[in-house]
Amino acid sequence: MLIGNGEKLSIKSPAKINLCLYILGKRKDNYHDIFSVMQMVDLFDEIELAISNSFSVSVSGAIIDEKNILETAYERLCEFLGRKLEVSVKVLKNIPIGAGLGGGSSDTAAFLAGMNRLFDLKLSVEQLVKIAATVGSDVPFFFSGGSAIVRGRGEIIEPLELPKNYHIVLVVPNFSVNTRWAYSQLRNSLTSREIIDFLVKSLPKNFNGILKDFKNDFEEIILSNYPHLGDDISRMRRFGAELVSISGSGSSFFGIFKNFDIAKKAFDYNWNGKKYLLKPIKYDLL
């Protein structure tokens, strides 16, 4: 997935959806313990790295109002190495921002993997993941290969081999959700450990059987603040989706369909926002 010529490297970084997302409670470090099953999908940002005389990041396709996460990743990588690496980074954003699709985290993982290749750093996957975890909670997932159980605050990854024989209709409404705000709305532990134990025992051998039972603990919060989204989610269910859920803390939502023709009918509906017809993927970042 890394294409280069020694001086320059091009990388595609995929989006993810949360097939389920459960919040188990707040930790002493003020993060929350989560349990999620994440799946990469074939919607990609595009990143180009080029050896340069100075470090720079430029982004097209989106407006980023705060410090770019790649700047933080660069700082953490240089701290780990004890030296600076001069590189020009260009990012083409195709993954919507503020939609729960992990675009920034995916870009970060791709950036770290690309720097490892471009500068022949010979860092192990474990070292890359260690650096990744200091940048963002979702970043380590993108070294998993495509599907994984994600625990802790997002840094504990258990790769899974899940079926890929389904189609995803993804809708990104015309608004975004701030993740920090969404977490601030959580008041209590929302999911019991017993539910998690059941899911772990059922994965991956009974994935199709439990797919319809997956939940996202942010859904109630998002729908109470954006009630019009509930109508669209109900409509997606009426199309016959096996699972309908928001991804991450929103704002995007998706339907999973076993039958392509039915998925295409759902995709062709005039949704209020951007829409995508996607497939789950295996993805080896390295």
Domain coordinates in residue numbering, the chain? 2-159, 167-278
The answer to whether residue 190 scores a pLDDT higher than 70 is no
Once rounded to an integer, what is the mean pLDDT over residues 51-59? 94
What integer pLDDT is reported at residue 205 of this predicted model?
Answer: 86
CA dist 200 and 110 (Å) reads 28
Q: Which amino acid would we find at residue 12?
A: K
Q: Which of 33, 138, 217, 232 is catalytic?
A: 138
Once rounded to an integer, what is the mean pLDDT over residues 45-71? 90
The answer to whether residue 107 scores a pLDDT higher than 60 is yes
Q: What is the CA radius of gyration of the chain?
A: 19
Active site residue 212: no
Q: Which amino acid would we find at residue 92?
A: L
The answer to whether residue 1 scores a pLDDT higher than 80 is no
Q: Residue 241 has what DSSP assignment?
A: -
Token pair recorded at residue 3: 């294409």
CA dist 267 and 15 (Å) reads 18
Fold of 2-159: Ribosomal Protein S5; domain 2 (3.30.230)
Those residues with Cβ within 8 angstroms of residue 112's Cβ, 6 or more apart along the chain or in another chain: 73, 77, 128, 131, 132, 139
CA dist 262 and 239 (Å) reads 7
The answer to whether residue 116 scores a pLDDT higher than 60 is yes
Rounded to two decimals, the pTM is 0.93
Question: Any idea which of 73-82, 113-122, 177-186 has the lowest mean pLDDT?
Answer: 177-186
CA dist 58 and 103 (Å) reads 15
Q: 6: alpha, beta or left, given left = phi > 0 and alpha = psi -120 to 50?
A: left
H helices of 43-177, where?
69-81, 103-118, 125-135
Q: Residue 142 has what DSSP assignment?
A: G
Q: Which of 16, 93, 217, 232 is catalytic?
A: 16
What integer pLDDT is reported at residue 188 of this predicted model?
Answer: 66
Q: Residue 60 has what DSSP assignment?
A: E
pLDDT tens digits, 160-181: 999 999 999 999 999 888 888 9
Q: Residue 7 has what DSSP assignment?
A: S
Active site residue 33: no
Q: Which of 248, 243, 250, 44 has the alpha carbon at shortest distance from 150? A: 248
Domain 167-278 classification at class level: alpha beta
Confidence band, pLDDT 50/70/90 cuts, at residue 31: confident
Confidence band, pLDDT 50/70/90 cuts, at residue 39: very high
